Chain A
Amino acid sequence: MNWKNILFSIFLIAITGSLLTGCLTAQKSSKNALRYSAGAEPQTLDPRKSTGLPEANIEAQIFEGLTTIGPNGQPLPAVAEYWTISADGLHYKFFLRKNARWSNGDPVIAKDFEYAWKSALNPKLASEYAYQLYYLKNGEAYNKGFTDETQVGVNALDAHTLEIDLEQPTAYFLSLLAFHTYYPVHLQTVQNNDLWATEPKTLVGNGPFKITNWIHNSKIEFSQNDFYWDIDKVKIKSLEFILTESSAAELAMFENKQIDVGENIPVSEYPRLLDAGVLKINPFLGTYFFCFNTTKPPLDNPKVRKALSLAINREELIQHVTKGGQKPALAWVPYGLADAAGTADFRLVGGSYLQDNDIATARRLLAEAGYPEGQGLPVIALLYNTNEMHKAIAEAVQEMWKKNLGISVNLTNQEWKVFLNSRHKGDYQIARHGWIGDYADPMTFIDMFMSDSGNNDAQYKNPEYDRLVKAAKSASDPRLRMQIMHAAEQLLFDDAVLAPVYFYTRPLLIRPSIKGVLHSVLGVIYFKEAYIEQ
């Protein structure tokens, strides 16, 4: 065979290949849709099983729970029109609105909720988020296989009445009901089809939108759900969620008018985008902090931990490094959670537990711990997971500790899952940490440091703290409950278990003409009432 023939055939294959495949795999874009960059490909759209925020954001458009979260973070009636709560806070009765319908036209009935919750707790479904339903009476026991599903505290009394029994009085249960694990599923569809959540055709929902097309790893297209009970408020005709995890791609698409809304953008671009008026800073229920391993010397000494915490200049860090309008964290529980009084904020009532950039006290504490000017202190290792922002913060803090306290810190970064493994196992000295609330109550932060908590990466063990948290969990008087949680938080700072850095915000990239997008403090985005101003 002549080389020319070889070359020629390669040429032919390439030409025909590129022409043919060009028509095969490229997708059409629909004009006039509102486009939102939604993060990674969802792992599942079965609300009983999904865990991440990208999934929750998709589900929030196509499902609706008994309640939904309002603009100020308060629970509002959704599928439930109204409800009654028993005096001891253990029994709830929900009355479903008669006009709530699934996207296939069937009415949403109480049985759909009962089935969804019970099957989510079924050990055979192996849902990662089953523990979100442990508030239900016997929810945990059933999930662990100790009892059967008839014992679980959720029952459909009739088509439109749902009765719920709780394990313990739970002050924030109404907000919890807006969480995706508490969404209903369409019983007839789900019961007979394990694959129901993978196909737009069988993905029956009860939210303002329905999915019409799902191109994996690329995009999800929505149109209005004509059967939705509150359809009059839905103004956007079609919606597209773009699936990408690249912040650079997201920004480029926004500036190229390929998307209209996004929330994962390079930090270095914040100042420019804020100036351009396209970046909106929304509150987010989370705390960024450094977690001390309280069992590893020299960090087993609370004075050393406290000194490190005090020697961070949070204001400067936020102004020059994180730049996202965050608030300096001088306590553990972030802003945005109601205290007992109703309108008061838990954080405002509790105040601050330390002073930002308090170098004098930090040096005094370090000297008291036996390391004046940092002398005699071995090199400490700070662990973070690979990410531009975490790296910049770690480098800045490393320099602050060196300058302010004379302490040498080594930085180590690890790939995400290796990092999680090291941190869970306590295989670190200081680790970067961020905690995002699961529900709108301080308890989502407070119970993390209980001795037996699976998330107590600080390896903190204090019986007094455990006692306080247990007392708060079983307290039925909201005022007393809040008081105990404040006391627990105080104890956390007496022991300096962590060095808080800032309270998260969630910057949203959005065209100024788009209004009515709701971004909850838990980070969930709702396009139900979004519209484009002409």
Chain B
Amino acid sequence: MHFLIHRLASMFLVLFVIITATFLLMHAIPGGPFTTEKNLPEAIQKNMEERYHLNDPLWKQYADYLAHVASGDLGPSFKYENRSVNDLIRESFPVSAELGVIAIFWAICLGIPAGIIAAVYHNRWPDYIAMFLTTIGISVPGFILAALLIFVFALQLGWLPAALWEGPSSTVLPALALTGLPTAFIARLTRSGMLEVLNQDYIRTVRAKGLSQYTILTRHALKNALIPVVTYLGPLIAGILTGSFVIETIFAIPGLGRHFVTSIYNRDYTVILGITIFYSALLVTLNLLVDIVYALLDPRIKLNEGKDD
């Protein structure tokens, strides 16, 4: 319990540092929300800055922002007239999250079994096939995979829509494009973890005791082999749930990832900060969960150690 309170406190500190650093960075880079190709007359520039309080000193903008955030209000968007950042996240997060959940589901359900099979048949053909496919998965990035998927399944075969977010059929291709890399990576991590564990003394012992292959795999080996997979899943889930800019752009999906990158190009200050906060909160929470899962997988890991060294 002490551990949890401690971690929660440090999570708030982490969020605070992220907000501050992001705030400073985005004001440090050239261009503001109202930098446009056609330079604005000074009077108009002034009117707009006044309206959005951009002419206040930076420290005051920062303090005002923090006060707003503390009350749960992420502020109005600078770019999208009369829309709040809260609304923006509320509308687009479910879309990204849906895609993300499907992608993570497939990554786990395909990646872990593939890794186990490869490890069990180490240096035999199932292993080679699995490793060949996963290497392709790692070296072909999402945007190329997406283009190929669209070309084959939408344009050539006509089975699925090429883009847009209209009904379950439109989730298939973007989810596949998203899931390629994590599936491959999870499979490789599982395989390596399994190989290591399968060669350890205690597994040899249980094997010598005559436990069946299945029991060895599930009860003893997989548990320890999963530690790196779980580590990887923390940031992966946070990243995938909040959406991929590339995939959402290619498939014209109204998700959060597209908003985030667009907001940086637009210098839409409140949106940048709002989504950063949202993503970071998700990330630190998931990383906390990862640490807890460690302890569940391997009782030797103690979370609130430190005083014993």
Contact = CB atoms under 8 A, between A and B. Distances in A.
Interface in A22-49: 22, 24-29, 40-41, 43-44, 46, 49
A416 B29 CA distance: 12
> Could you say which interface size class chain B belongs to?
35 or more
Nearest to B265: A416
Contacts of A255: 155, 162
B41 to A, nearest CB: 5
Interface string A423-460: 01000000000000010000000000000001100000
Contact of B163 (A28, A140, A144, A244): A244
A29 B39 contact: no
Given A6-B296, A10-B108, A420-B37, A256 B102 contact: no
Interface stretch (B1-9, B124-132, B251-259): B251-259
A123 B39 contact: no
A251 to B, nearest CB: 9
A1 B223 CA distance: 11
B283 interface: no
B136 to A, nearest CB: 22
A123 B81 contact: no
Contact of B80 (A17, A43, A215, A415): A43
Given A6-B296, A194-B82, A454-B39, A22 B166 contact: no
A14 B105 contact: yes
A18 B102 contact: yes
A454 B80 contact: no
A246 B82 CA distance: 25
A216 B37 contact: no
Contact of A258 (B34, B161, B297): B161
Given A126-B47, A126-B50, A217-B254, A26 B30 contact: no
B155 A18 contact: no
Nearest to B40: A128
B254 A256 contact: no
Given A248-B147, A421-B30, A454 B41 contact: yes
Interface in A318-365: none
B303 interface: no
B249 A249 contact: yes
Nearest to A254: B162
B303 to A, nearest CB: 15
Contacts of B155: 252, 255-256
B98 A417 contact: no
A249 B251 contact: yes
Interface string B92-119: 1011011001101100110010000000
Contacts of A43: 79-81
Contacts of A415: 265
A21 B97 contact: yes
B164 A253 contact: yes
A420 B80 contact: no
B228 interface: no
B16 to A, nearest CB: 27
23 contacts: A3-B223, A3-B296, A11-B105, A24-B98, A26-B166, A29-B164, A43-B80, A124-B47, A128-B34, A130-B47, A131-B40, A198-B81, A198-B82, A217-B255, A242-B252, A245-B262, A248-B250, A255-B155, A256-B163, A417-B30, A417-B32, A417-B265, A424-B35
Interface of B: 29-32, 34-44, 47-48, 50-51, 79-83, 88, 91-92, 94-95, 97-98, 101-102, 104-105, 108-109, 112, 147, 150, 154-155, 158, 161-168, 170-171, 218, 222-223, 226, 249-255, 258-259, 262, 265-267, 293, 296-297
